[in-house]
Amino acid sequence: MSVVTRPAAVAVPPQKRAVTVLRDIFDPLGLDSLRWERWEEPGRAGVDVYRLYVTDGAAPGAAMITRMAPGAHGDLHEHLGYELILVLEGELYNDNGDRYRPGDLVVEQPGSIHRVSTDTGCTVLGVRHAPTRPVS
């Protein structure tokens, strides 16, 4: 018979950290529990946002959950960095004719210009690596 010994587990003191955990974001009830804020901006209508984080610096990025009411739209804007969008519920339309549904993951490249909207309403997770610039 052979015996395998393992070194005793070493207790590691907990590290100080700030963590945000959102549970059940694919469930409308989980999303309803967030503290939504109206996203007021020229060219934008019917949009609420829950900001996860905003970074500092010359090209600040952000992560947010955005809820668009039926008929809502964003502004026409240019991306100065990458943007990642994950559709959580509803349908999101891009002005180029693309239609995104729950589970669709979209990556907008730096320099892309677009405007999103929804007929039925939708909720998306968005991560921007840099800000956007309004286009008139």
pLDDT for 4 beyond 60? no
Q: CA-CA distances (angstroms) from residue 46 to 42, 51, 57, 132?
A: 12, 16, 29, 19
Query: Higher confidence at residue 75 or residue 28?
Result: 75
Question: What is the model's pLDDT at position 7?
Answer: 65
Average pLDDT, rounded, for the chain: 90
pLDDT digits (tens, 9 = 90+) for 76-95: 999 999 999 999 999 999 99
Percentage above 70 pLDDT, the chain: 93
Local structure of residue 26 (DSSP, 8 states): T
For residue range 114-134, list pLDDT tens digits in order: 999 999 999 999 999 999 999
pLDDT of residue 39: 92
Q: What is the pTM of this model?
A: 0.83
Q: Give 109's pLDDT tier (boundaries 50, 70, 90).
A: very high
Q: DSSP labels for 103-116?
A: T-EEEEPTT-EE-E
- The position carrying tokens 């993951």 is 105
| Tokens linked to 68 | 């668009």
54 CA to centre of own chain: 11
Pairing of strands 77-79, 122-128: unpaired
- Interior angle at CA 50, CA 90 and CA 71, nearest 5: 35
